[in-house]
Amino acid sequence: MKVLKFGGTSVGSVESIRNVKNILASREGKKVLVLSAMAGVTNKLVEITENIKLENYSAINTIITELKQKHETTIDALIDKPGLNSYAKAFVNNVLEGLQEISRNKYSEKVYAEVVTTGETMLTYIFSTFLTNSGIQNNFLDAKDFMQVSNLENPDTDLVGKLFQQNIENLESTDIYITQGFVRIDVQNNISTLKRGGSDYSATILATAVQAEEVQIWTDIDGFHNNDPRYVENTHAIAELSFEEAAELAYFGAKILHPQTISPVIKRQIPLFLKNTFTPDLPGTKISAEIHSRGLKAISAKDGITAIKIKSNRMLMAHGFLKKIFEVFDKYETAIDMITTSEIAISLTIDDDRNLNLILEELNAYGEITVEKEHSIICIVGEGLIEDKSTSRLFELLNDIPVRMISYGGSDNNISLLVDTKNKIKTLQGLNHKLFEEQEVPQFV
């Protein structure tokens, strides 16, 4: 069995939905499809949650009307058999009526999750009915019946697999199962989410749960590029990445993959392929346990970083000082990305500043605190990177761009730089020039 995930742009229009059907037809064997909502729909649903806070029911009704028109227009374009067309519209209307009822409740995290996950529910049913209309047998599955994910960082894939098998054992045999990404059931048995972009994570959790032979993530980019093509010219797709390389790139900002996607499949060493829905014949990127080459592979950037510096003379030779600092961040469930230390100071970065004020209040007891926002982490990745002689050229960048922090040696596969976000593009372009254009680096294409 294979797990295929198609993102919002891949199912964003009637034409692209037809394209997904053609991709399925060209691939044999049993498949589980994990689908996102249509492009733009989740943003509209988030707007509804904002209006729930304001109790702006007129705006909510307007958005729901827009969603109804969008999905019914899609149904009319894809499903020409009257009975199936009516069933699909009735299903969408039922979902939207439920959305209307939910929107009358007081805002809460539970209400938020129930609202923002309805896009996937509507699209997957429409797609399932579209396949049936085209004579392609399939089974529609509700992910809420088996995506029991109590712990976001460490999902119980065995439980998900058991529940999945229970859900399909009484269904008519088919090669295609269709379900939703993004949604999960949490530890309180409430509808929740895997966070924005979490459909990738849904796919790898499910692939591990059903012991799939591979995962395919279909998007609108032809694989991992060696730099960010939005800011850097002449980037190229990388044919092969190790799990560790891909995990570093995803965590440190590569938009093509959700940061947690890799972790479930590492356990069972299930290969993951990144493919372009609109150019399906291109090879894309294969991510696996295999290491095909060493040295520099790619550069990515992560924005929204806050740098915190704690300066204290008491730190000098003070046993347990770092432990106390880390306990503050642990208390507020805030992860640290980068860290550097000196005799009298410690600098670190976070990407989640929701509890920043509370953290700073407690850190003030340990020394003088300096906070710098609007920074970016630039991550240079490759197997055995720190042994690659050409890597040293990145430090020439210090001549042109102020670098706030450098993390070197914590991993053989990653060197990270912290820069002011206003210098991010210049940094990406400068690194590309020094590390790729001026070096005889193999083109991993």
Element (H, E) at 286: strand 285-288
- Kindly give, in sequence order, each residue whose CB lies less than 8 Å from that of residue 241, ignoring residues fewer than 6 positions away: 224, 249, 285, 286, 287, 297, 298
384 is in an annotated binding site: no
Q: State yes or no: 29 annotated in a binding site.
A: no
Cβ(49)–Cβ(99) under 8 Å?
Answer: no
CA dist 248 and 413 (Å) reads 8
Tokens 């707007």 map to which residue? 47
Cα–Cα distances in angstroms (integers) from residue 135 to residues 22, 37, 138, 178, 357, in the given order: 13, 23, 9, 15, 58
70 is known to lie in a ligand binding site = no
Residue given tokens 């490759």 in the structure block:
382
Q: Is 5 assigned to a binding site?
A: yes
175 annotated as a binding-site residue: no
Check whether 118 is labelled as a binding-site residue.
no
Alpha-carbon distance 243 to 286, whole Å? 10
Q: How far apart are CA 427 and CA 303, in angstroms?
A: 13
Q: Say whether 120 counts as a known binding-site residue.
A: yes
Q: Does 42 belong to an annotated binding site?
A: yes
- If you ran DSSP here, which 8-state letter would residue 254 be given? -
What end-to-end distance do the CA atoms of the chain give, in Å? 28
Spatial distance between the Cα atoms of 85 and 79, rounded to a whole number of angstroms:
5
7 is in an annotated binding site: yes
Binding residues: 5-8, 42, 120, 219-220, 230
Q: Which residues are annotated as a binding site for ATP?
A: 5-8, 219-220, 230
Binding residues for substrate: 42, 120
